[in-house]
Amino acid sequence: MKIILYIIQKEFKQIFRNKGMLPIIFVLPLLQLVILSNAATFEVKNIKFGYIDNDHTSTSRALVEKFNASTYFNVLTDFPSEALANSSMLKGEVDVLLQIPHYFERDLQKEKHNNLGVTINAIDGAAAGVENVYITQIVQRFNQNIKVDILQVSDKQIQPIAIETIPLFWYNKTLNYKTFMVPGILVLLVTMITLFLSGMNIVREKEIGTLEQINVTPIKKSQFIIGKLFPFWVIGMGLLTVGLILAKVIFNIPIIGSLPLLYLYTSIYILVILGIGLFISNFTNTQQQAMFIAWFFTVIFILMSGLFTPIESMPKWAQTITEFNPIKYFVEVMRMVMLKGSGFMDILPQLLKTLLYAFIMNALAVWSYKKTN
């Protein structure tokens, strides 16, 4: 026990002696939490909107005005010609282009029906879909207004059947993205810090040659590993704590569920990450290799965690892969406990899987550590 304490002491000293490292461990992640959480929004607004009005009548102007009044669209330019509009679209200055045809008003009055050209930059398919919905809504409302203005009594006789839908958004009534993203980004930061630090740590001693010196001392492997990893576990838990405080104070993220439950889960989760880090350390010779591998898995873990894109939309084989993704479970648990107040029984599946994962990873790590020496 005493030996472990000494090792822990040594490791802590080593971390805190490195002045260049301290801001990277503590300031950089929290700064990113505060800044980047604002970036992660799928909301589509400030759409760059341009139009070509070939009609120049009160109706066409009224229609453009409707877009202007909408908060989603930034009406930028009235293009005098299609060529100019297209070139602007190619430059990326405009993402939605409305084309009002010649004789728009006249034809509308005559035929009671008219078409409107809409061009959408669809490279971001999801955003394009949303933009399309906005445009349809604005035009529909415009239609309604014309109807009220010009509708004859005879048109009113048959009332159409209507199914009314009432959308209710639970747990996040205002559809605030930060509520969703802050817990997720906090997960990433805790994971990245603990993984990168632990992954590099032992391989560093290998590279510099000090590992052999430790190996010839009477210390047991298990003591050595525990002593090595414990400080990172503490750093991870500390980061979580500060992150939660910031989430509450700066973003006012609700923490509905039980904090002890959250800490219980995190304490097991970090063991998984440390196990992975140690495992990587054992299989590499240089810090560079270790970091490339850590980076490789982190990018995969992040993008397939359900943090930014929904897991259930992935193909079945990819969903199977996500079962092995620790970040996925942590993101789920954080969001469930913090935002919905899910209890112990609700997160039990995730908790058990993480526990099993922690056991397997650390067993593998300790086993492979013995083998390489």
Partner 1 sequence: MKRFIGFIKKEFYHIFRDRRSLFILFGMPIAQIMLFGFAITNEINNVDIAVLDHSKDATTKEIINKISTSKYFSINQFIDREADIETIFKKGKVKAVLNFEEGFSKNLIKNNKATIQIITDATDPNTANTISNYVNAILQQYQKGLNKHITIAYQIVPETRMVYNPELKSVYMFVPGVMTIILMLVSAMMTSISITREKELGTMEILLVSPIKPIQVIIGKVFPYIFLSIINAIVIVVLSIFIFKMPVQGSLFLLAFESVLFIITALALGILISTISATQQTAMMISLMGLMLPVILLSGFIFPISSMPLPLQVISNIIPAKWFIIIIKGIMLKGVGLQYLWKETLILVGMTIFFIGLSVKKYKIRLE
DSSP annotation of 153 reads G
Looking only at residues 228 through 287 of this chain, which bind partner 1 when binding is defined by CB under 8 A? 284-287
Looking only at residues 199 through 218 of this chain, which bind partner 1 when binding is defined by CB under 8 A? 200, 204, 208
Q: Least CB distance from residue 367 to partner 1, whole Å?
A: 21
Looking only at residues 302 through 331 of this chain, which bind partner 1 when binding is defined by CB under 8 A? 302-304, 308-310, 312-315, 318, 321
Work out whether strand 47-53 and strand 96-100 pair parallel, antiparallel, or are unpaired: parallel
The total of other beta-carbon atoms located within 10 Å of residue 368's CB is 14
Count of residues engaged in binding partner 1, rule: CB under 8 A: 125
71 contacts partner 1 (rule: CB under 8 A): no
Q: Near partner 1 by CB under 8 A, which window of 5-13, 177-185, 242-250, 358-366?
A: 177-185
Which of 2, 153, 169, 260 touches partner 1 by CB under 8 A? 169
Which of 52, 235, 262, 336 touches partner 1 by CB under 8 A? 336
What CA–CA distance (Å, rounded) separates 295 from 195?
9
Q: What strands lie across the sheet with 96-100, from one edge to the other?
A: 73-78, 47-53, 96-100
> Which of 181, 185, 225 lies closest to 42, judged by CA?
181
Residues 6+ apart with CB under 8 A from 322: 304, 305, 306, 311, 314, 328
Looking only at residues 81 through 100 of this chain, which bind partner 1 when binding is defined by CB under 8 A? 89-92, 95
Which of 4, 7, 11, 29 touches partner 1 by CB under 8 A? 29
Buried b (16+ CB within 10 A) or exposed e, 182-198: bbbbbbbbbbbbbbbbb
Looking only at residues 108 through 167 of this chain, which bind partner 1 when binding is defined by CB under 8 A? 108, 112-129, 132-133, 135-136, 139, 142-143, 146-147, 150-151, 155, 158-167
What CA–CA distance (Å, rounded) separates 288 from 13?
24
CB-wise, 38 or 213, nearer to partner 1? 38
CB-wise, 69 or 363, nearer to partner 1? 69
Q: Least CB distance from residue 115 to partner 1, whole Å?
A: 5
Which of 188, 225, 261, 365 touches partner 1 by CB under 8 A? 188
Which of 49, 180, 301, 330 touches partner 1 by CB under 8 A? 180
Coil, helix or strand for 99?
Answer: strand
335 contacts partner 1 (rule: CB under 8 A): yes
Q: Least CB distance from residue 291 to partner 1, whole Å?
A: 5
Which of 48, 206, 228, 328 touches partner 1 by CB under 8 A? 48
Chain mean position to CA 136: 29
Residue-wise DSSP of 8-35: HHHHHHHHHH-TTHHIIIIIHHHHHHHH
Q: Least CB distance from residue 254 to partner 1, whole Å?
A: 10
6 contacts partner 1 (rule: CB under 8 A): no
Residue-wise DSSP of 239-255: HHHHHHHHHHHHH----
Cα 74–Cα 79–Cα 85 angle in degrees, nearest 5 = 90
Q: Least CB distance from residue 28 to partner 1, whole Å?
A: 5
